[in-house]
Amino acid sequence: MSSDLSKIEYIDIHSHLQFEGYGEERKNILERMRENKVATICIGADLKESEAGKVLAEENENIFYAIGLHPYDNLSEFGFAFDSQKDYFQKLKNLNGEKCVAIGECGLDYFYIHKKFKDGEISEGELQEEISKQKEIFRRHIELALELDLPLMLHVRPSEIDGNKEDAYLEVVEILKEYKNVRGDFHFFVSTKKVLEKILKELPNFNISIPAVCTFTNEYDEVIKNIPLDKIHIETDSPFVLPKNKRGKAKQNEPTFVIEVFDKICEIRNIENKEEFKEILKQNFKRMFLK
């Protein structure tokens, strides 16, 4: 896919700008994106949001989209997808189009199911069954990505039980290693330096995306310092996770606020030539998503 990014300075590789909650404010957000030379990928969380992302991308030159099913956000649709996998993934495939640049968000989300288990809401058997279902649907996404020659937009959330920030990531890495030629991005990376090193070593076709979490905690500074510059992306995950400087000033996150993430990474890594870093990020985007 070829796309003119000459007017773009910042690329938010993960947002949900198509969410209904933006309402009429979306028009103003789109205008701010144009003024600040920001592009974004509208990420699918289910069929409805994937289709809405496609519509928004087709209407706006600086917007792309991804199609996929979040592992936990829409449990009723997830159940249908699991029970009718061929039918569901054909519907997802039908949403592919010229501006579709990724499959996802997809992956493993251990946080909520482990919390339910810890709180006694589900048994250990039910926990393992849910994990098994997530893995199976994740594999269907991988197969679709390979079929369409698109990268994966990975959603990976660890259980955080007893501070565990690695379990879901380690499982995802092992699954991905089974497939040849698969590529993609670890969206909203909030794991350890150990996991980062494992990804860089064992999954050379995968990049790492940093969200606005870096603006209000230094917990991930060492991780950010150790991501090769040609492997890094920036994102907002709008409308979620407002950057520190926007709290109390904005009701919700938006793609333009990716500039806050950009500036914070420059600060953490002591990057003085910001124009050069902008170009590096743009080339990273092109290599991964516009292949």
The dihedrals phi and psi of 62, each to the nearest 5 degrees, come to -95, 20
Interacting residues of 18 by C-beta distance below 8 A, sequence separation 6+: 42, 49, 52, 53, 55, 56, 65
Q: How many CB atoms are closer than 10 A to CB 139?
A: 15
Fold of 10-289: TIM Barrel (3.20.20)
**Segments making up each domain of the chain, as ranges:** 10-289
Q: How does pLDDT run across 191-216, given as a tens digit for each residue? A: 999 999 999 999 999 999 999 999 99
Q: With 70 as the cut, is the pLDDT of residue 253 above it?
A: yes
Q: How does pLDDT run across 276-285, given as a tens digit for each residue? A: 999 999 999 9
Interacting residues of 126 by C-beta distance below 8 A, sequence separation 6+: 117
Dump strand ranges (E) for 38-164.
Answer: 38-42, 63-67, 100-109, 152-157
Q: With 80 as the cut, is the pLDDT of residue 2 above it?
A: no
In the block, tokens 């928004």 appear at 56
* Residue 118 CA: distances (Å) to CA of 121, 159, 169: 8, 10, 20
Q: Please state whether the peptide bond connecting residue 239 to the residue before it is cis, i.e. omega within 30 degrees of 0.
A: yes
This prediction's pTM: 0.97
Amino acid at 62: N
Interacting residues of 100 by C-beta distance below 8 A, sequence separation 6+: 54, 57, 64, 65, 66, 67, 148, 150
Residue 229 is predicted with a pLDDT of 98
Q: How does pLDDT run across 125-165, given as a tens digit for each residue? A: 999 999 999 999 999 999 999 999 999 999 999 999 999 99
Q: How does pLDDT run across 33-61, given as a tens digit for each residue? A: 999 999 999 999 999 999 999 999 999 99
Q: How many CB atoms are closer than 10 A to CB 177?
A: 11
